Amino acid sequence: MEKIAFLGLGHMGAGMARQLLGTGHPLTVWNRTPAKAEPFVAEGATLAASPAEAVRDADVVITMLADPAALDAVADAVVPALRPGAYWVEMSTVGPDVVKELAARLGEGVTLVDAPVMGSTDKAAEGRLGILAGGDVAGVERVLAHFGTVTRTGPLGSGAALKLVVNTAVIGGVALVAEAMVLADALGIDEDTARTTLANGPLGGVVGRAFAEDVHFDTSLAVKDADLATKAARLPVMEAVLDHFRRAAADPDVTHADIAKAVAHIRHSR
């Protein structure tokens, strides 16, 4: 069985790494805050003191980090420590340009796969994520299947690109739902009636996401994803959405809150 190193045990990473426990894969974990790794050690994983130590003997390295800056910092330590024949599966949402820059840093014999995920913490904990996998996926598809359903998206970087497309639609949709609720209020429509009617319409899935309370998606992550998207193409609507979420993230009551609270911020700041 492949030796796996999993780096990044945040809200998403913890649920994903837990899917690897008990699979027979020797698992090494690393997290910037070591205390978050303690439950995994108690269930049989090995705790690494550094990213380099985590990946040194790994056949498969998985990174699930917050943003491009976090990935860059980890890559500085990981790249020199990777052994020939290893696979690096980058599952963060960082955009295709960052994936291609990372590929250019890797030595001979190391295969990079970009495989960001669709779904939030609930699906991560249940192993029911959607995996958007770009590049030479065959060697790691069996490992990725522990996290959910794998969709091959094409060449390296295509998974990261498609994830930006998906997140742009979701984040933009959430902001649109927020504004629809502003309009409902301005027109004197009962809030529950408006919300239920929207939920039963074409935007039903986005309405559920906008008001979800059992998943975790920081407002700061919405800002990061919208920023990546608007740098990749001219997207006037998303530029306005990005401004909404930047203002929400600047509110000390919302900065580390779920996106549903950012929706409330947009609605009540009018």
pLDDT digits (tens, 9 = 90+) for 251-270: 766 544 455 555 555 555 54
User: Where is pLDDT greater, at 262 or 10?
Assistant: 10
Q: Which helix (H) or strand (E) holds 69?
A: helix 68-78
Write down all domains in the chain, each with its CATH number in brackets.
Answer: 4-154 (3.40.50.720), 162-268 (1.10.1040.10)
User: Where is pLDDT greater, at 254 or 172?
Assistant: 172
Q: Which helix (H) or strand (E) holds 248?
A: helix 236-250
Contact 212, 183 (CB under 8 A): no
- Position 212 confidence tier, pLDDT thresholds 50, 70, 90: confident
Nearest partner of 219 among 166, 268, 264, 259, judged by Cα: 259
User: Where is pLDDT greater, at 263 or 184?
Assistant: 184
Tell me the pLDDT tens digit for each residue of 137-147: 999 999 999 99
CA–CA distance from 5 to each of 64, 69, 112, 217 (Å)? 11, 20, 14, 24
Nearest partner of 171 among 65, 256, 266, 63, judged by Cα: 266
Contact 262, 242 (CB under 8 A): no
CA–CA distance from 267 to each of 5, 179, 198 (Å)? 42, 7, 16
Q: DSSP assignment, residue 156? A: T
219-232 vs 259-268: helix axis angle to the nearest 10? 80
In angstroms, the CA 249 to CA 258 distance is 10
Q: What is the pTM of this model?
A: 0.90
Question: Three-class SS string for 191-224?
Answer: HHHHHHHHHCCCCHHHHHHHCCCCCCCEHHHHHH
Mean pLDDT for the stretch of residues 86-110: 96
Q: What are phi and psi of 75, to 5 degrees?
A: -60, -35
Tell me the pLDDT tens digit for each residue of 59-92: 999 999 999 999 999 999 999 999 999 999 999 9
Q: Does the pLDDT of residue 183 top 60, yes or no?
A: yes
Diameter over CA atoms, the chain = 65
User: Where is pLDDT greater, at 260 or 132?
Assistant: 132
Mean pLDDT for the stretch of residues 103-119: 95
Mean pLDDT for the stretch of residues 197-201: 95
Please give the pLDDT value at position 42: 96
Q: In terms of C-beta density within 10 A (0-12 exposed, 13-18 middle, 19 or more buried), how is residue 109 classed?
A: exposed
Please give the pLDDT value at position 44: 95
Q: Which residues are catalytic?
A: 163
